[in-house]
Structure 1
Amino acid sequence: MVDFHISTVFQALNSEENYLRIQDDTLTGTLSSVDVATKENLENLVKVGEELLKKPVSRVNLATGVFEPVNKMTNEEALRKLAKLLSREKHLREAKSAVGNKSVPRIKMPLRAAKSAVAKGIQIYDYFFSTHTKLFST
């Protein structure tokens, strides 16, 4: 059910390449049970996982409901590709965030000079405001 829903959504958005689901729907017995945590079962699950990595990437065919290979890429190669893509995306977002969050550099100056600069700034603002108000009021 999940496969069908997710496949439908990603196909509708033309984003099948942005979705990777690796699963084995042929598990039986204790391998398919989520509550058997014996050492033997866990070791067998590791083997199943390693075998899954060697298999080709496959998706559910919405018409038949059967998993079909998508391309010649293995699940392992697809995971590496996805990891690189996510890493690149993370670095791009961090770079954008760093640019957007840079604070205005502080200028170090003596207190007297700072007061003078503030006073001049106020004078310039007052002049600008009074000049422009006269222009708009007439």
Structure 2
Amino acid sequence: MKKLILLLVVIPFLSFQSQTKSVDIIGKWKGVDESKNLGYIIFEEGGYASLIIDGEVMGGKEFEKDGNKGSMTYEANFDTSPVHIDLIITVVNTKVAKKALGIAMFEDQNHMRFAIGFDGKRPTEFTDKNSVHLVRVKE
């Protein structure tokens, strides 16, 4: 009888599984910032990222800005809440890298709120000034 009671108590706990909600961020995401500027962020499979703002592309495996060649990569940590997504810009010839620390909250597979800190600090919350609502672009 004790074994039966133990089984009845233990089995429900065994059926609960930790479900880490993982979202595939690979693809092109579109958003409008507080200044009404349309922009895109593209996350590539190889770990590269690109920003497109007012038609200007910055990022990817190689881009040029102010006479310097650079690349932009990203790192994503889905084990945190909110998700940490960092953009890393590296100057190719000097290998100097600068990291912009970001957070993301996914509403579903195609909608996310994204905030990024350019001052070396990771945002701790989503505000109208520091974040943008992004929608996945179907291509």
The TM-score normalised by the length of structure 1 is 0.22
Q: Which is richer in strand?
A: 2
Report the structure number with the largest CA radius of gyration.
1
The TM-score normalised by the length of structure 2 is 0.22
